[in-house]
Each structure stands twice: as C-alpha cells, then as structure tokens.
Chains A and B, each alone.
Chain A
Amino acid sequence: LAKTTQPISMDSYEGQEVNITCSHNNIATNDYITWYQQFPSQGPRFIIQGYKTKVTNEVASLFIPADRKSSTLSLPRVSLSDTAVYYCLVGDPLNSASKIIFGSGTRLSIRP
C-alpha cells in the first residue's frame, strides 16, 4: 500500500494561494492521487483526483510531476471557509480491493 506524507499543519491568510504538498514515493503504476477535505463534525469530501501533470476543477488544482512521487494541491484565493483538514491518498480507482488509507492529514488554518 502506497503511503503518503504531508505537513501536519499550515497557516495562511484570506486571498492567498495555498499549496499543500504530499509525498508518495512508492506510488504504483495504476494508482491515482486523490485529495479529500474535512470540516469539523462532517465526513470527508472528495476534492480532486489526478494521475499525472495537472488537473483543475472549480475548487482546486492538482499538480503532479513526471515521476509522480509527489503532488501539490493548490487552493486559489483561500477564504476563511477553506479552514479544514486536507487528506492526500493514493490508490487504484478501478480496483475494488485497493484500500483507501487516510493519514493524519494537513490542518489548514486561514486567518482574516
């Protein structure tokens, strides 16, 4: 099972761009990188998923270098409501036996 490493916490200010980097040195060929967001007293929420290069949606961008041993979640112009825990995971989306392993995540705090 590919393991991920990400910072325990990060602080930023409203309006700034926030980049959270995740290391996954043992990522397998069929693995995708997936990010989840979790607010207090709620279940995690899927944000974005990618395999290589760059993926962008209405919430975030995901940058994945050619060697795929790391990835960076980019949140543009954050607001107070982006304060949450962000989890990076790797796994094969087409393999039902590929267990999803959550680490401790990155606790992002946004200040006014």
Chain B
Amino acid sequence: GAGVSQTPSNKVTEKGKYVELRCDPISGHTALYWYRQSLGQGPEFLIYFQGTGAADDSGLPNDRFFAVRPEGSVSTLKIQRTERGDSAVYLCASSSSTVYNEQFFGPGTRLTVL
C-alpha cells in the first residue's frame, strides 16, 4: 500500500525566501509528525498533529516555522525568511491512533538554503 510521501524531495532556496514542504500521510492515520534531521544526528521533533490540531508544537525552533493540517490529512510545513541554518532533511511521519510509537516515515525533503 501507499506509504508516507513528501514533496519536493529536494528544495534549494536562497536566504530570506519562503518555502513550503508537503507531507501526505498514510490514509487513516490520525497522528502526523514533523522532524528535522541534520547530518550525523537523529531526527529532531518539531511538531505533532492529532487530526487537524497541533497537539504539540514545542519543537518548532522559532516563529519563522509554522505547520498546518487543515483537513486532518495532508500537512504543510512553512518556513519564512529562511536562513542557512535551516538547511537539513525534513522528515514527516504518521501513525495510527492505537500505536503512536510505531511511526511510518516518509523519505524526507532535503532543504538547502544558500
């Protein structure tokens, strides 16, 4: 069956620009997570959605980062005024409401800010 998909797979942008990263979770999964992964590090939690609402956004580094999930399915991570330090792989994962620990990850979007 279809897994978690993320688009684009690669995004190169210039410092100061706005970017949007998209995540399509597994159908029926109510929980959706965004992580950021830098080279040599484990995924770093950013935000977690339960349905349409952000249940925990404590991992968002600052107010330049924002995420939405308006219909409880697809989610978009939005980054304003990008900085070079935002360069990383952004991972999305989803899980069912019965086993939150078993998360299914997408392939990630590699963001490069020049």
Contacts and interface: CB of A to CB of B under 8 A. Distances in A.
Interface of A: 32, 34, 41-46, 49, 85, 87, 89, 91-105
13 contacts: A41-B107, A42-B105, A43-B4, A44-B93, A46-B104, A49-B102, A92-B101, A93-B102, A94-B98, A97-B56, A100-B45, A102-B35, A104-B41
B45 A99 contact: yes
Contacts of A34: 101-102
Contacts, number: 71
Interface residues of B, number: 29
A93 B100 contact: yes
A43 B42 contact: no
Contact of A102 (B43, B58, B99, B104): B43
Contacts of A96: 31, 48, 50, 55, 97, 100
B101 A49 contact: yes
